[in-house]
Amino acid sequence: MTGSVSILILGRHSGMMQNVISFLNSNGFDKAKGVLTNEEVKTELLTHQYQVVIIGGGVDGETRQMIKQLISDKNSNTKVVEHFGNPASLLEEIKILT
């Protein structure tokens, strides 16, 4: 199931984003896309369907609520992972949701 899971990641640091995407890719999640801005995440959520949205630790509370509202408004089955910490724990968080 790993390769078929579409994942959108919102983070604030490009270096960390690349590390997370590389980590997910190396563990079979090859449909992971990262964005760094609120505008990018809005565009992605309004124009594409994702099974999982990962919100990184550097994202403020207002933005987190905006993402959840966009997903709710779209009546999507998208699962949200609010991730703080080491990327290694992401695998378990994603597997639990999918």
Higher pLDDT, 31 or 75: 31
Residues 6 or more apart whose CB falls under 8 angstroms from that of 82 comprise 55, 64
Residue 31 falls inside a structural domain: yes
pLDDT for 60: 96
**What is the greatest pairwise CA distance in the chain?**
33
Residue 88 falls inside a structural domain: no
Per 3-state DSSP, what percentage of the chain is helix, strand, and coil (rounded to 5)? Answer: 50, 20, 30
Mean pLDDT of the chain: 90
pLDDT digits (tens, 9 = 90+) for 62-86: 999 999 999 999 887 899 999 887 7
The tokens describing 29, both together, are 């999640």
Residue 72 falls inside a structural domain: yes
Count the domains in the chain: 1
pLDDT digits (tens, 9 = 90+) for 12-21: 999 999 999 9
The pTM (predicted TM-score) of the whole model is 0.90
pLDDT for 98: 61
Q: Which domain holds residue 63?
A: 8-83
Please report, for the domain that includes residue 73, its CATH number.
3.40.50
- Are 97 and 79 in contact by the 8 Å Cβ rule? The answer is yes
